[in-house]
Amino acid sequence: MPNTPDAQAYEEMTRRFATIAHLNGAASLLDWDQMTKLPPGGREARGAQNAALEGVIHERLVDPALADAVERVAATMDPDDEFTHDWVRQAREDIRQATAVPAQLVEALALTTSKANAAWVKAREASDFASFAPVLAEVVELNRERADALGWTEHRYDALHRIYEPGSSTERVRGLFARLQAVLPGLVQEAAEGDASRQDDVVERPIAAAVQERIVRDVTARLGYDYDRGRLDETVHPFAQAIGVGDVRITTRYAEDRWPTAFFGGVHEAGHAMYEQGIPAALYGTPLGRYASLAVHESQSRLWENHVARSQAFWEGYLPHFDAASGGTFAGVDAPQMARAVNRVYPSLIRIEADQVTYPLHVILRFELEVQLIEGSLSVQDLPDAWNDGMQRLLGVTPPSDALGVLQDVHWSIGAIGYFPTYALGSMMAAQLWERMEHDLPDLEDAMRAGRFEPLLGWLQERVHALGRRKLPDDLMTAATGRALDPEPYVRHLTHVAQGDLTRRLTS
């Protein structure tokens, strides 16, 4: 007769993880506030608050009573109870990671990254990397210590990367990125010789920031972002933040002379947020009530941003609304022209504003630099030169300033080393999911033309969102698409973009 879990142990395990989830939500709220509303004078105190809260969360995770409850459940659960098996597997991994990292290091990371983020904001405004370098060096050293505490065999970077992408590795990323590096230079050159690189003033037509905000709210709501459970704010570096059930927030930034910055940034973050809003509330407070990985998370944002909002089918439906909301700024522009304009392929300086074809090269550069920083072959002081050399080698452009180069991303200032590869991995996943979606939803483009995005969102909710962390990334991709992560759908998609072929189906 199958075993049933120890009821007392199950209740204790559930209660303890629910408390940790609530504390993590409070920490997320502090992070959101720091990035959006916190006055400069409050940054030092916020650092201390973050460190204290991270310390409390760490103490709760490493409490032997929690591990004991998990193991008692594991010893008595039904062998056929897949849900509880998934619960226990993820609980054990969360506890293992927390137990491996000393409490002093957790608090030091929280305190130092809060200080580093404040220093980054000032350094970026002044385009002065030298002022940021000392605290960045501290962040790098603390991450080396964290990697050693977590444990690694081939590459120290593996331990950090797996925080964000379970089951991945430095060598796996290198192999996948090698495929991209083999084809991207040729695609960029092909685009330069064809219509895909043609300059169009459509993306530079000015729109006031207040008008852009209304447009971003409109388009994200149409796609499926629920404003009853979210909000839109402005920040230096756009992000989405899950605070708890019923509270998933997005941000963007406005450039009045380049509206795609806010428009596609808002759609991108709404893609992240719709993923979080789609995780079942019943899973909240358990180790399963989060996203599968950051690459899976990125697959959602890149899918909505690139496969939906940059498609000609989307603009065939949305352009009249967009033109009306902007006061007739785009009168005379048709959907094919708009699709060409927002998919123009050309080497540029800023990752979050890069076109689809050159975007992975920005990610590859950051991945290379991160590995070198963590493995000790590159010093923080030499980072700007290494950055500029890499930009010239991969994209043929050299940043004229630190603000447009090494200081453009927030990630290192918040200690998120190991994160960057997930952007390109997520883009690969998005293309693979899209090909499968095209197969399963043959009227997908017609639905987008009609402004109906419910079938698309419903497919993602069923295949990705509803699972939370029940599956590892490769298992999730296999279940959703029939195979593990494969770069070829992404190569096919980028080839079509580089060729200016914006109406052809990926699977044709």
Number of continuous H segments (helices) and E segments (strands) in the chain? 20, 3
Q: Which residues, in sequence order, are bridge partners of residue 244?
A: 247
What pLDDT does 506 receive?
A: 41
Q: Give the CATH number for residue 385.
A: 1.10.1370.30
Instruction: Report yes or no on 211 lying in a domain.
Output: yes
pLDDT in tens, 447-481: 999 999 999 999 999 999 999 999 999 999 999 99
Same domain, 425 and 303: yes
Task: Tell the residue number behind the tokens 């149409």, with chain if given.
Answer: 222
Instruction: Report yes or no on 137 lying in a domain.
Output: no
Q: Which of 100, 123, 156 is the last residue of a domain?
A: 100
d(CA 352, CA 264): 9
Same domain, 94 and 192: no
What pLDDT does 508 receive?
A: 36
pLDDT class for 353, splitting at 50, 70, 90? Answer: confident
Phi, psi of 483 (to 5 degrees): -155, 160
Q: Which residues, in sequence order, are bridge partners of residue 250?
A: 232, 240
What pLDDT does 411 receive?
A: 93
Same domain, 351 and 480: yes
What pLDDT does 10 receive?
A: 93
Q: Is 472 helix (H, G, I), strand (E, B) or coil?
A: coil
What pLDDT does 502 receive?
A: 66
| CA 442 to each of CA 434, 437, 439, 445: distance values in angstroms, whole numbers, following the listed order | 12, 8, 6, 8
Same domain, 373 and 274: yes
pLDDT in tens, 180-220: 999 998 898 888 887 666 777 899 999 999 999 999 999 99
Number of domains into which the chain is organized: 2
pLDDT in tens, 213-254: 999 999 999 999 999 999 999 998 899 999 999 999 999 999
What pLDDT does 197 receive?
A: 66
* Furthest C-alpha separation in the chain: 72
What pLDDT does 230 receive?
A: 98
Same domain, 197 and 76: no
pLDDT class for 501, splitting at 50, 70, 90? Answer: confident
Tokens of 495: 């080839």
pLDDT of residue 8 exceeding 60, the answer is yes
What pLDDT does 194 receive?
A: 75
Alpha carbons within 13 angstroms on the beta-carbon side of residue 277 total 25
Same domain, 77 and 192: no
Same domain, 184 and 53: no
Same domain, 344 and 422: yes
Question: Residue 314: which domain range?
Answer: 170-498
| CA 430 to each of CA 14, 165, 242, 283, 299: distance values in angstroms, whole numbers, following the listed order | 33, 15, 21, 24, 4
What pLDDT does 225 receive?
A: 98
Catalytic residue, candidates 12, 138, 269, 298: 269
Same domain, 43 and 187: no
Q: Which of 72, 100, 128 is the last residue of a domain?
A: 100
d(CA 392, CA 76): 59
pLDDT class for 47, splitting at 50, 70, 90? Answer: confident
Ranges of beta strands (E only) in 223-326 are 232-234, 240-244, 247-252
Q: Is 377 helix (H, G, I), strand (E, B) or coil?
A: coil
What pLDDT does 358 receive?
A: 95
pLDDT of residue 352 exceeding 90, the answer is no
Same domain, 95 and 174: no
Give the alpha-carbon dihedral of 80, 86, 88, 93, to 10 degrees: 150
d(CA 311, CA 497): 10
pLDDT of residue 507 exceeding 90, the answer is no
What mean pLDDT do residues 147-155 have?
95
d(CA 283, CA 281): 5
pLDDT of residue 17 exceeding 50, the answer is yes
What pLDDT does 503 receive?
A: 66
What pLDDT does 192 receive?
A: 82
C-alpha torsion sign, points 53, 58, 63, 66:
positive
Instruction: Provide the percentage of residues in the chain whose pLDDT is more than 70.
Output: 97
Instruction: Report yes or no on 135 lying in a domain.
Output: no
Instruction: Report yes or no on 161 lying in a domain.
Output: no
What pLDDT does 1 receive?
A: 31
Instruction: Report yes or no on 411 lying in a domain.
Output: yes
103-117, 134-148, 293-307: least confident range: 103-117
| CA 90 to each of CA 3, 170, 249, 288: distance values in angstroms, whole numbers, following the listed order | 20, 22, 26, 7
d(CA 168, CA 469): 15
pLDDT in tens, 407-447: 999 999 999 999 999 999 999 999 999 999 999 999 999 99
What pLDDT does 341 receive?
A: 93
Q: Which residues, in sequence order, are bridge partners of residue 232?
A: 250
Same domain, 66 and 180: no
Cβ-Cβ contacts under 8 Å for 83 (sequence gap 6 or more): 470
pLDDT greater at residue 4 or residue 18: 18
Mean per-residue pLDDT of the chain: 94
Amino acid identity, position 57: I
Instruction: Report yes or no on 296 lying in a domain.
Output: yes
Instruction: Report yes or no on 229 lying in a domain.
Output: yes
What pLDDT does 2 receive?
A: 43
Instruction: Report yes or no on 145 lying in a domain.
Output: no
What pLDDT does 4 receive?
A: 66
Known catalytic residue at 269: yes
State the CB neighbour count (10 A cutoff) for residue 256: 14
Among candidates 376, 450, 493, which has minimal Cα distance to 222?
450
pLDDT of residue 50 exceeding 70, the answer is yes
Q: Which of 100, 134, 156 is the last residue of a domain?
A: 100
Same domain, 254 and 393: yes
